[in-house]
Structure formats: structure tokens, C-alpha cells
Amino acid sequence: MASLPERYQALLRWVEAAGGQLHPAVEIYHDEVTKGSFRVKEACVLGADEEIVSLPLSCSLSFLNAIAGHPSIPTTLPTTIPAPSDETYLPTEFLNKVPPHVIGRFFLMQEYLNRENSLWWPYISTLPPPEHVASMLPVVWPTDDAEFLRGTNAYVAVQEIRSTLKKEYKQAIKFLPERVRYEYTRPLYYWAYCIFTTRSFRPSLIIPDPESLSLPCKIDDFSILLPLFDIGNHSPLAKIAWITDKNARTCTLRSCQPYSARQQVYNNYGMKTNAELLLGYGFIIPECDDFHNDYVHIKMKANPTAGDLDASHIVALRPFSHPSSVIGRSRLVDPEHLSCLPFLSHFQDSLIAALYESIARHHNEASDVSLTEIMQGKVSQGLLEEIINSLGTKLTIDLEEIEAHDPPYEAMNQNQELALLYRSQCKKVLDSTLISLSDTGS
């Protein structure tokens, strides 16, 4: 098989042949730290308003390709969305009864199995291979590695996702002919899940006029893979723009900041906490003075009789008003208003508001005060004390849960090292927040 640099060059030629391009000052670079990434070439610069990569939608891979041109599934997909290689469609019953996001994964599996006969092989050959799946995401880590997350909120999410994947695969595989089921293995399905989870984009951000496609589902019921486009690594501080040309049906990643020679050129996946990055991409961002990405997610259970909804709120390592709490401020109901009691400064305002409303309702008290008044403590002393006690109890339980499941031995591989780093940062968040809560007198 060709070397990885040769495969990247083949990918670039394939995209260029379809009408796409990579900025001439940018190269695909690979090392053990960044893996595949974009980097400015030696002796070159990238301006503050430059197209990093331009990709025709004809190169994309998704559920749309699985149904494009299918005689039994009428759509108005543009001809730029190619049908499966040699029109080897998945069975019609499969396409009609399996959820679109699962179909997309099976379509990727099909094209992987087709290898050089697949239209998308120049792209697929550059992806991490199925035999490396155990190091991709916590969901597919070996059991011993996943145990290093036990006690954290990420561990609970891993178990839930694993259960969902098993059900999805079991339900989908029965709609394939028995003669091919042995090829579409569960490990290969998990690989396809990892590829889509770590590299895909929301179709509504990419595809122009989705309502005109007459799809049998909603546009964001599936994800879309964008070859070459997806090589850019994540930085939450990167200034970028995604632009879709309706007429040319081309998706462009544009940089809104300059880069100098040999600098990595970043994409921005959005305002995601380390918990979300770990589960969705398999990495976390280390803490530094100027930026931190450490937040513990707290989920309040729904109270159907009161009309509540499940909600996830975050608790921050540093106060939301701290310049390094960029992700935290993006989650505030009112990001412009950061005035609050010091001991509430680590909590997402929606969490404090939800607690206040729940406690006030329990005591049959009016809950018509504003969010600002709640955060500034302009409520009854009794209610404020109950909020503090509830927060302290919850965080103490969470901290004790993590500590009770500390691994009995040192990390032996990269997965375990990553898990230890994540759990140590979770402890740090809970510790700092509990210290803040204990200082209510000031």
C-alpha cells in the first residue's frame, strides 16, 4: 500500500479533479502529535481572509449517496450528489427501515469494503483504518481503558452510547442479506461510527436549500463527511468561516486570521467542553493561563408534573467572568452580564435559575424574580441557603464518586493517560468550586 503522504497527495489530486483545491501556501502535514493537519508551507504565509480549502459537494459522503438515484426512493437530489459505486445500493428494505444516520455509516462500510472500486477510495484510504479503532474514541476503548473513566460523567455517557450502538447494529444487520452479513461486522460498524463522529459536519450548515431535496427525513437526521475539508484540527479560538456556494455547490473553509510559515492552520468545531471533545473527538485541551476548557456537566432530572425538561448545565474550573472561561461564557443565558455573587461565579446561570425555580415551587413561593436578581442573591435568605446546600451536596457526591473509583494502578497506554488527565481535571473543577461555595461569607 502507498505511504500516507502518497495517499494524501492522491486525495488532493482527486479533490482537484472534481473542482476543489487546497490553498497553494498550505500543505497536509502529519506527525504523531497533530496526526493529519493543515500547515503553512516553509517560506509562505496565509493572509487574514484566505480560502484554506474548497470542496465540491460531489466529493462528500453521507446518507444522501446511499439513496441518490434510487428508483424506489424518490428525491430531487442534484446530480452533483453521486450514487453508490456501480449503483450497488444497499437493499431497499434496509434503506426504508433503518435510520438515516445508521444508513450513512453502513454506506461508508460498503465503500470501504469496495476498496479501490469505490469512488471515495482516495479519501477512505487516508482515514484511520478499522484495526486502529481501539484508540479512536472512549466509546470503543478496550474495557480496561474505559475503566479509567469510571466515576466521571464521561463514563456514564460511554456506557449509554455503547448500548445505543449495539441496538442500532443489531436492528440494522437483520435487513441485509445473510450472504453479506459476515462482511458488515460490528467492529466495522464501530469504526464507521468513529469516523462520522470525529470528522462529520451537520448537513444544514453545508447543503444549500435542503428543503428542496424532497428527502424522506429531516436534513440533520444524518451527518456528512467532507474529504480534505475534515483534515483541519480544532482550536476553539480559531477565527474561521464556513461558506457554501449555492450555485457552484461548493463548501469553503475560510481563515479569518493570518498564519505564518510552518504554523498549523486550524478549523473550529464550535464551543465544546473537554467532556464533549473527549467523547466526540478523543482528545482534550490542556489548561493554561489564557484558556481553560475544563467543565463538569450536571444534568438535572426532569419533573414531568412541573413541565421541566432534561437539561445539562456546566460548572467551570474558573469563574465565568475570567478571561480564560471562553467556552463557559458561550453557554450563559446572558453572556454580557457577569455580575453575580462570588460563590456562584463557577456555575452556569441556567443551573442556578433552575435550582431556584425548583426550590421556590417546592415551597409554593413566587418565582418571578429575574435571572440577574437570582445570580446577585436578591432572593430570600432561606432560598439562597437551599441553593448553596443543593450545589454543595451534588458536587461533593460527584467528587466522592470520582475518588472512589480512582484506578488502582498507573496508566499503561495513551488511552489510560488521557483518561487520568481528564479525571484529574474533573476533580480540580469540583475542588475549586466547592472551595468557592464554602466562602459564602464573603
Domain closes at, from 231, 265, 299 = 265
Same structural domain for residues 116 and 207? yes
Decide if 304 contacts 324 (C-beta within 8 A). no
Segments forming the whole domain that contains residue 391: 274-438
Decide if 369 contacts 378 (C-beta within 8 A). yes
Number of domains in the chain: 2
Same structural domain for residues 200 and 245? yes
CATH number of the domain that 91 lies in? 3.90.1410.10
Same structural domain for residues 132 and 49? yes
pLDDT digits (tens, 9 = 90+) for 56-107: 999 999 999 999 999 999 899 988 899 998 879 999 999 999 999 999 999 9
Same structural domain for residues 416 and 433? yes
Same structural domain for residues 296 and 199? no
Grid coordinates of 3: 505511504
pLDDT digits (tens, 9 = 90+) for 315-360: 999 999 999 999 999 999 987 778 899 999 999 999 999 999 888 8
Same structural domain for residues 278 and 413? yes
pTM for the full model?
0.93
Same structural domain for residues 256 and 289? no
The pLDDT value recorded for residue 87 is: 79
pLDDT digits (tens, 9 = 90+) for 143-157: 999 999 999 999 999
Grid coordinates of 224: 456528512
pLDDT digits (tens, 9 = 90+) for 115-135: 999 999 999 999 999 999 999
Structure-model confidence comparison of residues 338 and 113, the more confident one: 113
**What's the pLDDT band for 311 if we cut at 50, 70, 90?**
low
The pLDDT value recorded for residue 304 is: 35
Rounded to whole angstroms, how far apart are CA atoms 48 and 239?
9
Distances (CA, A) of 23 to 47, 53, 55, 311: 11, 6, 12, 42
DSSP state of 208: S
Same structural domain for residues 282 and 187? no
Same structural domain for residues 321 and 209? no
DSSP state of 318: S
Rounded to whole angstroms, how far apart are CA atoms 186 and 244?
35
Same structural domain for residues 56 and 198? yes
Decide if 135 contacts 414 (C-beta within 8 A). yes
Same structural domain for residues 248 and 135? yes
Domain closes at, from 244, 265, 286 = 265
Same structural domain for residues 67 and 207? yes
Domain closes at, from 247, 265, 283 = 265
